[in-house]
Structure 1
């Protein structure tokens, strides 16, 4: 797959495929990014910050991230732009550069999504755990199609999103390509 250019929005959090995230945007470089996304109809990349802060000087971000697609926008009580984004494709940063306005732009390689694979018997308990978490939290997944609970990738992403994990653990899960390896790791984390 050829590399593609993607603007980055480094954060002190991990955006997972399929997950929703609320953002407040106030820095000029990120307002420019949102404007560009609106014009082009494209998303931007969210990478977890390894070193540095979300505001000010460009931060050092993880090499793996998730494309953020803008689902909704508005204005907060404080007058700032608010966004609701959804995680889409995973990517690996091959090379990053900083524009004059401080915005980081990266050449990214998209990670293969892979075909849907059924949850293996040894991970069956994780599907039950996920159902329980969704039921208790009343999350947006309460009305999810029953078939999704047998999709190894979907179960893994939703558990990574809903379990009380540290961002470093979520980042580790994001970097795994194999959905069964991801479920193995989640099983180790919850036991």
Structure 2
């Protein structure tokens, strides 16, 4: 179950994507409200929340976020060729949104309840194929993980989250996998999805 920890208020960044714990996400920042968010998090060393958009758009009026999201910590900055600020974030713990409010500048803030991180569970032998599939995915589309320690492939949570972010899944499927609280259940769900990607 989700951990019953004290709630806290954080800035939210609704996106048309899902950030998983331990994952990486690169963002292009141009709206004033999100430039302010980056300044705030940089000044205080705090994280912001990434939630998938349920209704609305990334730019413009505040979007409706999913009820479960992931903390994002800024780990790098760059200025892109188009002159916009680029940031690289790393996914932390998940949280559940209790309520939201919109600041006068349009920035969405949420009162959130943090979840405890999943306990490390060894990947059972029946999911060994998923480890091989992840290795192949990383070789082709996941260069950020090429130097990952081999022991991580034996961690059911890490394996499931990496597969969920690298497989070409629909946003709803990614959100469902994010919200699962049993890492073995997540691996089973990914395994059941795989036949869709097999060549005829």
After TM superposition, the score normalised by the length of structure 2 is: 0.92
Deviations 1:37-92 (A, max 9, x none): 01110110010111101111110110111111101112112211111111111111
In structure 1, what is the equivalent of residue 143 of structure 2? 139
Q: Distance in 1 between matches of 2:145 and 2:32?
A: 34
Q: Distance in 2 between matches of 1:97 and 1:70?
A: 23
Q: Distance in 1 between matches of 2:117 and 2:28?
A: 29
> SS at the partner of 1:143?
coil
Alignment of 1:78-89 (within 5 A): 78-89=82-93
Establish whether residue 103 from structure 1 lines up as the match of residue 110 from structure 2: no
Aligned residues: 191
Q: 1:55 aligns with which of 59, 71, 89?
A: 59
Establish whether residue 180 from structure 1 lines up as the match of residue 184 from structure 2: yes
Moved beyond 3 Å, runs of 4+: none
Q: 1:41 aligns with which of 37, 45, 66?
A: 45
Of residues 134-143 and 148-157 in structure 1, the stretch that sits farther from structure 2 once superposed is 134-143
Is this contact kept in 1: 2:47–2:74, CA < 8 A? yes
In structure 2, what is the equivalent of residue 167 of structure 1? 171
What's the RMSD between the two structures over aligned residues? 1.1
Gapped regions of structure 2 (runs ≥ 5): 196-200
